[in-house]
Structure 1
Amino acid sequence: MLAETICSAVSAAGLGIAAITAYRKRFLAAARITAYSLVPIGLVLTGAVEWAVDTAFSPTAWVGFGLLGGAWLLFMTTRAVERRSMGARKESAALEPGASQPSLGAGGPAAGRQTKPAKPAKGAQPSKSKAAGDGDDFSDIEAILKKHGI
């Protein structure tokens, strides 16, 4: 009974604040305040406040919440232990001498590296663009631009 009275008073105060806000020509804010102030009275009329009060003061409900929290804690603990043990298994498997190593290809570790581009001949002009580097990456583009006078 007390919770319903408090919710009704909060709604009435909110509607009063909304009326003052609308009087000051701030209609969007007044509409938002009105929406917020109608929520507590709506909860009273649907019976949600009575249910929440009965749940809050029920020892059986608190035991149920405690059991749910304990189950969640056990679940999260087992997941953390499982993740740690899987990480330890992966590390120990990698350290074993008989463990298969990932293949690096026919050329070994150096096969994946790129070689330096060939230096231009003595008679050739160096590239004007520093972003292009020493290679012939943008030589075709430069030729087209020179052809059009750009």
Structure 2
Amino acid sequence: MLTSTVCVALSAAGLAIALLAAFRRRFRKATVIAAAALLPVGLYMTGLLSLAGTVVRAVVDWAADLVFKPSVWAGFAVLALSVVLYALARVFGRRGRVTEGGGGGRAVAPEAEKPALGRGRKPASKTAKNDPDLAEFGEIEEILKRRGI
């Protein structure tokens, strides 16, 4: 009940100031003041004012629990442990992939990994030899020519 009275009084005062600004031919300023003056009543009517009060009370209660309850500190310790374990799993996961894919520490040339399409055949284009990105297109072009496409 008191909240509604305060909101209506604030809005009425703001609208009175907006009327004074409009009387002085400052219409843009009067419009901005009127928009701001209608906020308290709108917030009260939609229930957002009581929601904000509930949120503020919940944050204050949580902060008080943070200071006075050891279980909250234990919860932060569990969260920190979780983050550390996740980070370790990511670091060791990357390290494991490098040793597995390297073939026992041996470096393998990219050309040696690709299977040969045919023996004694030359690449479809000369640029495919020089550029490894275009080599795949040369192989595709060769397959299409064999199929008659």
TM-score, structure 1 length as denominator? 0.43
User: Which structure ranks higher in relative contact order (CA pairs < 8 Å, sequence separation ≥ 6)?
Assistant: 1
Q: Which has the higher helix share?
A: 2
Q: TM-score, normalised by structure 2?
A: 0.43
